[in-house]
A and B are shown apart, each in its own frame.
Chain A
Amino acid sequence: MTQAETMPGELPDDAQPILSVRDLQAHFRTDRFGVKRDVKAVDGVSFAVRRGEIYGLAGESSSGKTTLVRTIAGAVKPPLDVVGGRVDFAFLPGYGGLRRAPAAEVARIRWRHLSYIMQGSMNVLNPVRRLRSAFVDFAYPHIGESRKQFEQDVVAHLARLKLDPSVLAAYPHELSGGMRQRATIALATICRPDVILADEPTTALDVVVQKEVLAMISGIRREIGSSVVLVSHDLGVHAQVTDRLGIMYAGRLIEEAATVEIFRNPLHPYTRHLISSLPRIGDDVPRKGLEGAPPNLADPPPGCRFHPRCPLAMEICRHKVPATLETAPGHRIACFAVNRSEAA
C-alpha cells in the first residue's frame, strides 16, 4: 500500500505494517439543552504497528488511550464521532477503517483478523452461560468447521495457554478474576487473529496474576505471531512486555520509540517526568511530583497541551502545536524544546 511510505516514523526496511493509523481524530460531541460540547479525546494520532510486535500505549486516565483503541476497533457510537483521519489494516485494504467498511466485511474480519480485549473484560462474560457457550457464541461462526472439530480446537487452544479444559464447564462466577481474564484472552485468540487490541488487560488483577497474564500475552505473540496493541497506564507493564511504546498526553501521541529507548533515553519533558517519578525498590532518592493537572479536553490549552505544566515551556509552545518529528531513528517526539530546529 502506498500510505506505508508516507507514514511518519516508518523504517525503510520495514515490511508493510499490519495496522496503520493516520491523523486520527475522534471527538465526543454532545448537544444538550443548546450547550455544545466537543471533547477532543483523540486529536491527530498517527502510528503504525508492525507484524508480530507488541505495541504499547501509555498515558494517564483521560489521555484518550481507550477512545483510540475503540476507534481502531470500530466501536464508534454517539456521542463518540470520528472527525478525521484513517485506520488501515493490511487485511482490510481500501476502506480506511472498520467504520467505513460494509457490514459483511466487518463481520468477516472481526475475531478472525482483529480481536478486542476490552477494559474490565473479565466482566464481559455472560453470567448465566457456561464458558463453553461463550466460545461457541463468539468464535464458532468465524471458524466454519464442525462442532466436534471446534470443540477439539478449543481444548487444544486452552492447553496451549496452560488453561485446564474444565473451565469450559464453569460459569464465570466460579472462576477467580485472573482465571476469567485468562479465559477471555483465550476467547480473543482462539481464531488466531492478526491484531489483538488489549485495553488494560491486567489492571484489576493482583501482581502475581498480572505477571502470569502478561507472560500469556507474550506467549501468544510468540506462538501465533499476532500483533498486539497493549494499552496500560502502568509503565511497569510496558517495560515487561512491549517492544515499542507510544506515550499519550491529552489526546495526542507525544513520544514514540522502542520501549528500551523510552526508558533509557526519554526526551519529551512529560515522559521524562513519568520515568523519573517511578519509585523503585532499592532506590531512596526522593521523587518530585508534577504540578498542575491534566487538561480538560473540552477546552484544552492552545498550542502544545502540556505547556502549562512543562518546565521547558517556551513562547512558541503557547500558540503552536508541535509536529511529531523523528529525532533519532525510530524515535518520534512532539516537542519544540527537543526539536529545536522546528521552533526556530
Chain B
Amino acid sequence: MSDLLLDVCQVSKTFTRGGLLSGQRIAAVKDVSLQLDAARPEIFAIVGESGSGKTTLSRMILNIEIPTSGKLLFDGVDLATLRTGADRLAFMHKVQPIFQNPFDSFNPLKRLDRYLFMTHRRFIASDGRITPEMAVDEALHKVGLSLKEVSHRYPHELSGGQLQRVAIARALLANPKLIVADEPVSMIDASLRISIVNLFKTLRDDLGISIIYVTHDLATAYYVSDRIMIMQKGSVVESGDARTVLNAPQHPYSRQLREAALLPDVAAGL
C-alpha cells in the first residue's frame, strides 16, 4: 500500500499543566518528522536527555498519546482514523512496545506464561496446526529461552535480563513489523545488556523487524542503530546515519552529549 512503514509528519504534542486560567503550556514534542522504509528494516535510535520528548514521541508512535498537530501514518493508515477496537487490534498486531523496566511490565502475582498465552489468544487465530504451546515456545526460542524455563515461573524468579527477553518474546508473538523499545536496556545489568542489544540486531536481520530504539546511552545507540535522531527540548537537533552523526556531531548540543558520554577510556577520562 505504501513504501513507508512509518511516516511521522511534523507532529507536535503540547501538554497543559495547571488550572484552567493559570494553565501553562508545555511543548513536549515540536514539529518532528521521521520516516521508516517498509522494504529495508532498520534500527532507528532516538536519543536525548530526560525531558527531550523522546518518550512522548514513542508513545505517539504507539498510538497511546494523540498528537496535538501533525499526522502519523503507519503502513499508509493515519493513526487518527483508528476508531474501532478491531482497527486498534490490527494496529497493535503490527506495532509492539517494549518498556524500560521489565519488573514493572509484568504483574508480580501472575505467572509469566499466562501473559504469553493471553497475547497469543488475542492476536493469533488458532488454526489447529500450531498449538499455542508451540507458538509460544517458538517465540521464546527466538530470544534464547524456552517454554520449559518460563512456564509456571513468576516474574521475581527470573533475572532482569531474562524478564526483558520474555517481554520481547511476548512482543514477537504478535508477529509485528515494528517494535518500539523505550530504554529497553537501562535497567538491565551490564553483563546482560549487550546480549539484549545483540538480540535487536538479530530481530532486524533475521525477522525483518524495524526497531525504534529510544535511549539516552550514546554508546549502545552507536553500537546497534543504523540511523539516529538526537532530540533536545522536543525538537530534533540532528539526525542521519548513526556512524556519521556520532563520529562527527555537527550541532552544539549533539557535541555536548557526545562529550558528556562517559567513555570507558581512562586516558580520555583523566
Residues of A within 8 A of B (CB): 60-61, 206-208, 210-211, 214, 233-237, 239-241, 259-260, 263-264, 270, 273-275, 277-282, 284, 286-290, 293-294
Cα(A284)–Cα(B246), bound, Å = 12
Report the minimum CB–CB distance from B252 to chain A (whole Å): 12
Q: Are B223 and A287 within 8 A (Cβ)?
A: yes
B154: CB under 8 A from chain A? no
Question: Which listed residue, B219, B256, B257, B269, touches A279 by the CB 8 Å rule?
Answer: B219
With a cutoff of 8 Å between Cβ atoms, the chain A residues found around residue B194 in the complex are 277, 279, 287-289
Can you list 29 A-B pairs, Cβ within 8 angstroms, ordered by A? A206-B49, A207-B260, A208-B256, A208-B260, A210-B260, A210-B262, A211-B260, A233-B189, A234-B262, A235-B190, A236-B262, A239-B262, A239-B265, A239-B269, A241-B269, A260-B266, A263-B265, A263-B266, A277-B190, A278-B264, A279-B219, A279-B223, A280-B219, A280-B222, A284-B243, A289-B195, A293-B158, A293-B161, A294-B159
B59: CB under 8 A from chain A? no
**Whose C-beta in chain A lies nearest to the C-beta of B198?**
A289
What are the interface flags for B131-163 relative to A under an 8 Å C-beta threshold, 1 for contact and 0 otherwise? 000000000000000000000000000111110
**Whose C-beta in chain B lies nearest to the C-beta of A202?**
B262
Cα(A233)–Cα(B247), bound, Å = 26
Residues of B within 8 A of A (CB): 49-50, 158-162, 189-198, 216, 218-220, 222-224, 243, 246-247, 256-266, 269-270
Q: Are A61 and B262 within 8 A (Cβ)?
A: no
With a cutoff of 8 Å between Cβ atoms, the chain A residues found around residue B190 in the complex are 60, 233, 235, 274, 277-278
Q: Are A273 and B191 within 8 A (Cβ)?
A: yes
With a cutoff of 8 Å between Cβ atoms, the chain A residues found around residue B216 in the complex are 206-207
Report the minimum CB–CB distance from A284 to chain B (whole Å): 8
Cα(A273)–Cα(B192), bound, Å = 11
**Nearest 10 interchain pairs by C-beta:** A289-B195, A236-B262, A279-B223, A60-B189, A293-B159, A206-B49, A279-B219, A240-B269, A207-B260, A211-B260
**Whose C-beta in chain A lies nearest to the C-beta of B265?**
A239
With a cutoff of 8 Å between Cβ atoms, the chain B residues found around residue A282 in the complex are 222, 246-247
With a cutoff of 8 Å between Cβ atoms, the chain A residues found around residue B159 in the complex are 293-294
**Whose C-beta in chain A lies nearest to the C-beta of B268?**
A239
Report the minimum CB–CB distance from B224 to chain A (whole Å): 8
Cα(A275)–Cα(B191), bound, Å = 10
